[in-house]
A and B are shown apart, each in its own frame.
Chain A
């Protein structure tokens, strides 16, 4: 597509601001037009606010004016405090799936150093790498287990990580994310309820330097509010799995996978379905009667794509992914409700966005992004079947990818035993 000329976008910075002792404003914001202030109280993020920047500075009075916005979440934190006797945290492993992004991965692993020092296991799954650079980087982290999964697909890599992990709980984050110091313990705290199978956390942007990053945060933000929420069959629609969270910041209970099945290898990055693997998993968690908790104290910073082309591709991929996993639900699980929900979402979201862009309504999405989503949605069902055929070709023994098999196969498929998947343990002995 021809490179289009855009007006100079406002540059945005992100700053953390502890509420216990408000800083005397910020003075290091030269070159920025506005700042996203992230208010924290103790270890938890309680709210965010946008503030304009004058001559590189934000004053204390500006901070004071917006800080009452944090009052209600702080209030909730005080009264929703956990009971005095906190049960011991379960054992856990952290899995990071990566592919040819060494700079990002390096930053991610540095942020995980406190997890390592607390004695938790960290596993990096290198998914179908095209170069040896990741392996070279990993030689600098001898305490981290390094696996290589040669079949392409994020969900394939996740399953490899699941079967290699030894912890009772497996936490996932992406290579382009950076975890906060209290991240893992905040996720683990919620597993004392036996019905909780998955916990998701709050994901905030790591930087908003370029316009595509700002657009991503505006249209597809991973943040789901600052108040903890519970989702189950009786309270939420199971197709609202997108509200629950995302794979960049989640933890699962391994024992429950016997009932729920593992990630569907026909979905998510690296396959024609492009995304939706995490959402489809959340759907199955809810549909099998388990519970998901959204825990905003588990904080991850995610670096959004910097370029327009990457953003367009991402939004196209999200369009494909949603309709791909919905197609799977309709085809495999016979969820007839989707015949009503999917067209509604298509018209109310995708078509509506394109129309608004064409009519130049206020706050409309750029036309190319809206169209990317629309075309993605149209391609979704077809891409799902292509992806499914591809997975079957790759692994002739259908039992190797239990979540994709026959309609009866997915529910009672056990967790594959370590070693059955094509993962090779390449960590230093």
Chain B
């Protein structure tokens, strides 16, 4: 037996004894020897028989199982508490509704060699007769993990999910752990920002599979969206450099959605009444299986509830706009930013150096001497590395790089070309 435990698994829970028992049961099936890890259950304001169940399991299970209890009503605080009592050098955070496959802990244990943050793959599991919302949520989650698993994916704070993730305990303590003042689920993202500022490397473990038994439905999700709106404001206050980025991607796209945003800011009572009406309408549409009407309504509900959360955190619309104006401008490409020619052959080390500098001050991409793309620094993202560049180039080739080259070519030869009558044949 190791004198020092390798891995501490922290599972926060709140009144879900049956789910928790299933996930503790899965821990007995792990391919990693049970002497290498311990499990710490943090029961937060539990009123059911969680404590009795965990104590009964502790006598049975082959690994070390500890139970902590407090009443904070916050998963962030529970995880922090669990981390302070952890004896392992590595922390693995799991949710109480995640049932681990036998390889999960071993994969995280092997990934310690990377010395960074390792994300596991949480496969969503919904009930057999899933609702429309659950069906589309499952697609969303699976697509999310597929994106993360693509070679050359550049991790951002939005990829940090605390449901199945491991990191060095020293790093966790250094950045100060989760921030319990963040509402809702966004404490993950907020911790992700701080970890990325430390320059930590992320990696994805596609074989560290946990089955995530989701029971959320539309109305709970709408409540969570409101919390997300509030949390985005908090996050913008704490990290002003992200403020513009956080809200620019959420800008409503058409007039009807913009009207909903105004409703959320100016007439929240009327808006909430309408929200309730819409929710009833979705139930009716779902019973009649009218997907063509249900999906657009979902878009409207999402828009309203997010902005309702923002307005609850910040107040009036004018105040929100002023607050956005105060934010520093999004970073631009510096005049002395490094240049990289895609046609040139740099050594890997030299390229890595240029990219590292480029992710801080911006980077200009050239093809054979002519500029095709300027990449401003992206806050809240990993530093650029060569695989990221390869993925970026193949992604942007069609929309950015080749049009830029074609434009340059037409500018250079255009006058002569246009004189010739056989232009169509040439093209």
> Are A and B bound to each other?
yes
Shortest CB–CB separation between residue B241 and chain A, in angstroms?
A: 32
A237 and B292 in contact, given A83-B150, A193-B146 (Cβ under 8 angstroms): yes
Shortest CB–CB separation between residue A231 and chain B, in angstroms?
A: 12
Contact call A336/B139, Cβ cutoff below 8 A: no
Contact call B289/A233, Cβ cutoff below 8 A: no
Cα A288 to Cα B123 in complex, Å, equals 17
A83 and B289 in contact, given A233-B135, A288-B135 (Cβ under 8 angstroms): no
Contact call A411/B129, Cβ cutoff below 8 A: yes
Contact call A195/B289, Cβ cutoff below 8 A: no
Shortest CB–CB separation between residue B386 and chain A, in angstroms?
A: 13
Contact call B289/A234, Cβ cutoff below 8 A: no
Contact call A289/B292, Cβ cutoff below 8 A: no
In chain B, residues 350-382, which have Cβ atoms closer than 8 Å to a Cβ of chain A? none
* Residues of the B chain whose Cβ atoms lie less than 8 Å from the Cβ of A75: 398
Closest chain B residue to A84, Cβ basis: B151
Interface mask (A268-305 → B, CB under 8 Å = 1, otherwise 0):
00000000000000000000110100000000000000
* Residues of the A chain whose Cβ atoms lie less than 8 Å from the Cβ of B276: none
Contact call A334/B289, Cβ cutoff below 8 A: yes
* Residues of the A chain whose Cβ atoms lie less than 8 Å from the Cβ of B398: 75, 79
Contact call A83/B151, Cβ cutoff below 8 A: yes
Q: Number of residues in B with C-beta < 8 Å to the partner?
A: 24
Q: Kindly state whether residue B142 has any CB partner on chain A within 8 Å.
A: yes
Question: Of B128, B135, B291, which one neighbours A237 at CB under 8 angstroms?
Answer: B291
Of the listed residues A234, A291, A333, A412, the one surrounded by the most CB atoms of chain B closer than 10 A to its CB is A234
Q: Kindly state whether residue A259 has any CB partner on chain B within 8 Å.
A: yes
Q: Kindly state whether residue B288 has any CB partner on chain A within 8 Å.
A: yes
* Residues of the B chain whose Cβ atoms lie less than 8 Å from the Cβ of A291: 139
Closest chain B residue to A71, Cβ basis: B427
Q: Kindly state whether residue B130 has any CB partner on chain A within 8 Å.
A: yes
* Residues of the A chain whose Cβ atoms lie less than 8 Å from the Cβ of B138: 195, 289
Interface size, A (range): 20 to 34
Interface mask (A77-89 → B, CB under 8 Å = 1, otherwise 0):
0010001110000
Q: Kindly state whether residue B329 has any CB partner on chain A within 8 Å.
A: no
A233 and B291 in contact, given A79-B394, A79-B397, A195-B139 (Cβ under 8 angstroms): yes
* Residues of the A chain whose Cβ atoms lie less than 8 Å from the Cβ of B295: 234
Q: Kindly state whether residue A337 has any CB partner on chain B within 8 Å.
A: yes
Shortest CB–CB separation between residue B400 and chain A, in angstroms?
A: 12
Shortest CB–CB separation between residue A76 and chain B, in angstroms?
A: 8
Cα A84 to Cα B150 in complex, Å, equals 10
Contact call B292/A337, Cβ cutoff below 8 A: yes
In chain A, residues 231-276, which have Cβ atoms closer than 8 Å to a Cβ of chain B? 232-234, 237-238, 259
Contact call A337/B290, Cβ cutoff below 8 A: yes
Q: Kindly state whether residue B71 has any CB partner on chain A within 8 Å.
A: no
Contact call A259/B291, Cβ cutoff below 8 A: no
Shortest CB–CB separation between residue B365 and chain A, in angstroms?
A: 17
Interface mask (B89-119 → A, CB under 8 Å = 1, otherwise 0):
0000000000000000000000000000000
Q: Kindly state whether residue B170 has any CB partner on chain A within 8 Å.
A: no
Closest chain A residue to B131, Cβ basis: A289
Interface mask (B138-152 → A, CB under 8 Å = 1, otherwise 0):
110011001000110
Shortest CB–CB separation between residue A229 and chain B, in angstroms?
A: 16
For this complex, 22 residue pairs linking A to B, each with C-beta atoms less than 8 Å apart, are A79-B394, A84-B151, A193-B142, A193-B146, A195-B142, A195-B143, A232-B139, A233-B136, A234-B295, A237-B291, A238-B291, A259-B128, A289-B130, A289-B135, A289-B139, A333-B289, A335-B289, A336-B290, A337-B289, A337-B290, A337-B291, A411-B129
Known contacts A79-B398, A336-B290; 10 additional CB pairs below 8 A are A83-B151, A195-B143, A233-B135, A233-B139, A237-B292, A259-B128, A289-B134, A291-B139, A335-B289, A337-B290
